[in-house]
Structure 1
């Protein structure tokens, strides 16, 4: 499977059924030769338009439930996703 194949799939959270978006990046463990996580930009709805607010949801590989022909099903608790974003902000500071 190519990275471009991942980018064309919708990422769906099976906990609440929400579409999270599309995969924009992968985090790799080069020592182990495996994918550590997938990265999905977080979009917000402002004035009826979708816009990227600059944050990303980093979904660990262990949270991927199924990779189908059109979608990637993940199990993400919303509070964990929010904490991940806060951790990323603190790490960048």
Structure 2
């Protein structure tokens, strides 16, 4: 699967049934080539016009399934790790 294909998929947290947004980047270990995490945009400050406060880093181990249109992740913490 290519990054451009991942970027078209919406990320859903199965613990809260909340949409986390679409993948904007991936974190890759340069030594092993392994994907460490998916990066999704964080919540907007006041409005999306003013940019994003942070990006949410979703560890690869939290990914349950990658489907045709969505990626299911299991994040117990309502505030995923920040990047």
Fold-level match, TM-score > 0.5?
yes
1:53-92 matches, cutoff 5 A: 53-79=52-78, 81=80, 84-85=81-82, 88=83
Task: For residue 5 of structure 1, give the secondary structure of its aligned residue in structure 2.
Answer: helix
Q: Please give the root-mean-square deviation of Cα atoms over the aligned residues, in Å.
A: 1.8
Report the structure, 1 or 2, having the larger helix content.
Answer: 1
Partner of 2:33: 33
Asked which structure has the greater CA Rg, the reply is 1
Bigger RCO of structures 1 and 2 (CA < 8 A, at least 6 apart): 2
What is the CA distance between 1:78 and its match in structure 2? 2.6
Please report the TM-score for the alignment, with normalisation by the length of structure 2: 0.85
Q: Structure 2, unaligned stretches of length 5 or more?
A: none
Higher relative strand content: 1
Query: Which ranges of 4 or more aligned residues in structure 1 deviate by more than 6 Å?
Result: none
* TM-score, scaled relative to structure 1: 0.77
Segments of 5+ residues of structure 1 without an aligned counterpart are: 89-93
